[in-house]
Amino acid sequence: MTMNETLTLALASGAGLLLGAMFFGGLWWTVRKGVSSKWPAPLFLGSLLLRTGVLIAGFFVVAGGHWQRLLACLLGFAMARFILTRLAGPPIEFPGVAAKKAGHASQS
């Protein structure tokens, strides 16, 4: 592998990180806004379509017909998911929304 190919794959991985940050950051924003929205369904659907469209277009552009670039981009995307889930911390509790937790069911 030449230096040019290594740089190209590193840039593709970086692009995957950015695409992942956009995708999962957009998902985080949608969930935060959606729980208090008057119309959550259109918000979630619109967000899904926008995030997925940008992601697929980004993968297409970055790959440029090379599977190695696509794989590097997907790796960056997966790394972004891992990083952002660690940074986000534990799930937040919303007042008035009951959450069921596994293993903590009441004994009757």
In the chain, where do the E strands start and end? none
Domain membership of residue 51 (yes or no) is: yes
Separation between Cα atoms, residue 13 and residue 100, nearest integer Å: 37
Domain membership of residue 48 (yes or no) is: yes
Rounded to a whole number of angstroms, the CA Rg of the chain reads 18
Determine phi and psi for 87, rounding to 5 degrees.
-70, -30
Domain membership of residue 93 (yes or no) is: no
Domain membership of residue 83 (yes or no) is: yes
Say if residue 96's pLDDT is above 70.
no
pLDDT digits (tens, 9 = 90+) for 6-55: 999 999 999 999 999 999 999 999 999 998 999 999 999 999 999 999 99
Range of the domain at 64: 9-88
Domain membership of residue 107 (yes or no) is: no
